[in-house]
Amino acid sequence: MIKKFVYSQKVAPYVFVLPFILIFLIFWFFPLVNSFIMSFQDRMLGQDPKWIGEANYSKLLTDKVFLTSIKNSVVYMLGTLVLLIPFPMLFAVMINSKLMMGREFFKSSFFLPALTSVAVAGTIFRLTFGEMEGSLMNSFLGLFGVEPIKFLKDGNWSMAALLILACWRWTGVNMLYYLSGLKSIDNEYYEAASIDGASAWQKFRMITMPLLKPTTIYVTTISVYAGLAMFTESLMMFNGNKSPQNIGLTIVGYLYRQGIEQNKLGYAAAVGIVLLVIAMVINLTQLKFSGMFKKEED
């Protein structure tokens, strides 16, 4: 009886871990390996794959449309980092303040857009920034005597519209992350700083920001991935995957165009692998400079 109990104690952890290993293999490892193999093939649905080596990757280096999609995705990603890290942090600090009235109302208001479907949000913003006479943005600008702007036919304006959509949807989510981080900061730090005569700005700069560093690193990491993987917002904003002169084309949008629309699965797989490498390099670099790996080693 004792031997059976000891044996069950040894086997039990592996029994619980096995499902997670299977999920990892089925939904991540095998698809990744298969995509990597496909990226070296000329592969189309209904046809036998043909091994072509690094030809897909060589073609990507001279593919101007692909390079445009990289530029658009990187600009969008950098824009989200600039807008969706400092402002949600400031909003979280304001809402966390005891002097703030209606804190629950503002938390709910900021988070509500995240519950909206991307398709619905993209359609609403397409109409908002559209060229029709009654479009909201041009009607608003008309009050100040500004001529109508073709937002979705100009590269800079269309990127601004996409970033406004991103801020509308994700500011509340990032703000909740920072609110959770603020809850873990001991109030004694602020009391000690008040005794020493520190101002509100000094408390924020010397206490809040350093202690929110883990939250900032997490938000930065997911924002890098989300920025580079953005597709549905652009698809809905431009009412399709063919924006004027590819001003709204992203890396995932180009992958979709090659793999789904043109049935070039091998070439699309190469695009996906390049996207994975770009995301990993950026995130590993920022984690390295933020000291995360050093902390783990210590």
CATH code (residue 178): 1.10.3720.10
Residues 183, 188, 193: CA angle, nearest 5 degrees = 115
Does residue 289 carry a pLDDT above 90? no
pLDDT of residue 78: 96
| Mean pLDDT value across the chain | 87
Q: Please report whether residue 30 resides in a domain.
A: no
- Identify the pLDDT of residue 155: 85
Domain extent for 240: 63-129+158-290
- For the cut 60, the answer to whether the pLDDT of residue 297 exceeds it is no
Mapping DSSP onto H, E and C, the string for the chain reads CHHHHHHHHHHHHHHHHHHHHHHHHHHHHHHHHHHHHHCCEECCCCCCCEECCCHHHHHHHCCHHHHHHHHHHHHHHHHHHHHCCHHHHHHHHHHHCCCCCCHHHHHHHHHHHHHCCHHHHHHHHHHHCCCCCCCHHHHHHHCCCCCCCCHHHCHHHHHHHHHHHHHHHHHHHHHHHHHHHHHCCCHHHHHHHHHCCCCHHHHHHHHHHHHCHHHHHHHHHHHHHHHHCCCHHHHHHCCCCCCHHHCCCCHHHHHHHHHHHCCCHHHHHHHHHHHHHHHHHHHHHHHHHCCHHHHHHC
CA dist., res. 103 & res. 95, Å (int): 6
pLDDT-based confidence at residue 8 (cuts at 50, 70, 90) = low
Domain membership of residue 251 (yes or no) is yes
Does residue 153 fall inside a structural domain? Answer: no
Compute the distance between CA of residue 94 and CA of residue 103 in angstroms, rounded to an integer.
9
Judge contact between 130 and 149, C-beta under 8 A.
no
Q: Look-up: residue for tokens 């999920």?
A: 23
Calculate the alpha carbon distances from 141 to 11, 153, 168 in Å.
68, 17, 20
| Contacts of 175 by beta carbon, 8 Å cutoff, 6+ apart | 88, 89, 91, 92, 95, 107, 110, 111
Checking if the pLDDT of 208 tops 80, the result is yes
Number of domains in the chain: 1
Q: Which residue has the higher pLDDT, 297 or 115?
A: 115
275 lies in some domain: yes
Between CA 86 and CA 219 the distance in angstroms is: 11
Q: How confident is the model at residue 12 (pLDDT cuts 50, 70, 90)?
A: low
Cα–Cα distance measured from residue 102 to residue 82, given in angstroms and rounded to the nearest whole number: 27
Q: Is 145 left (phi over 0), alpha (psi -120 to 50) or beta?
A: left
* Structural domain includes residue 33: no
pLDDT at 99 over 60: yes
pLDDT digits (tens, 9 = 90+) for 143-187: 888 888 888 888 899 999 999 999 999 999 999 999 999 998 888
Q: What is the mean pLDDT of residues 103-118?
A: 85
Lowest-confidence pick of 64-68, 78-82, 129-133, 273-277: 129-133
Q: Which segment of 11-15, 138-142, 254-258, 276-280 scores lowest on mean pLDDT?
A: 11-15
Query: Is residue 108 one of the residues assigned to a domain?
Result: yes
Q: Is residue 4 part of a domain?
A: no
Kindly tell me if the per-residue pLDDT of 276 is higher than 80.
Answer: yes
Report if residue 110 sits inside a domain: yes
Task: Write down the pLDDT at residue 17.
Answer: 74
Q: Is the pTM of this model over 0.95?
A: no
Bigger pLDDT: 171 or 10?
Answer: 171
| pLDDT at site 58 | 93
Distance, in Å, from the CA atom of 220 to the CA atom of 213, rounded to the nearest integer, reads 10
Average pLDDT estimate for 206-210: 91
Count CB-CB contacts under 10 A for residue 4.
8
